[in-house]
Homo-oligomer: A and B are copies of this chain.
Amino acid sequence: MYTISQLAKQMNLSRSSLIYYDKIDLLKPSCRSSSNYRLYSEQDKVKLEQINQFRAAGLSLEAIKQLLQQNNSSAGLFLEQRLEQINHEICQLRSQQQQIVNLLGQTTLLPSTRLVNKAQWVEMLEASGMDEADMRQWHIEFERKLPEAHTDFLQSLGIPEQEIEIIKSWAK
């Protein structure tokens, strides 16, 4: 049996989070002490570990609650939906990066450039022995194997939609 603060510390959560989980019926302690203090069992702890796993995947507490209640494996569905959502969010963040680059004026002014652009990428591939034909072949492979990922990759280099279309069409 653990008190609320003990469990919170072990799980690297705040006490208030556990109180909140109790309130929304996500995780209720299986006992209470004589003075009405929350007491968490080993089983409660296991459940909290599960909750944390799903939380690390970015599922909402509401979704976690549902899939823990319906003990079956509806988890797959939720997780796949979440994957879609993550892709969407990453796209949005990329678009925000582009917006900032535009607002800041020139790419060269960027502080510690974590953003790689097309020119840099080409330069690096050339430096390791690729020529234009090789790169074309590489895009064709990429498009055939993983078309969505290919699009994501091209977008991340800040390449305009039109050019992306052209590159993707090489594979046809």
Q: How many residues of A contact B (CB 8 A)?
A: 50
Q: How far is the CA of A164 from the CA of B47 in the complex (A)?
A: 33
What does DSSP make chain A's interface, helix, strand, loop or mixed? Answer: helix
A163 at the interface (CB under 8 A from B): no
Q: How far is the CA of A129 from the CA of B96 in the complex (A)?
A: 35
Copy tally for this chain in the complex stands at 2
Q: How far is the CA of A97 from the CA of B120 in the complex (A)?
A: 27
Known: A83-B97, A86-B93, A99-B56. A127 touches B138 (CB 8 A): yes
Contact with B along A90-104 (1 / 0, CB 8 A): 100101110110011
Contacts of A149 in B (CB 8 A): 113-116
**Residues in A lying within 8 Å of B, measured CB to CB:** 53-54, 56-58, 75-76, 79-80, 82-83, 86-87, 89-90, 93, 95-97, 99-100, 103-104, 110-116, 120, 123-125, 127-130, 134-135, 137-138, 141-142, 145-146, 148-149, 152-153
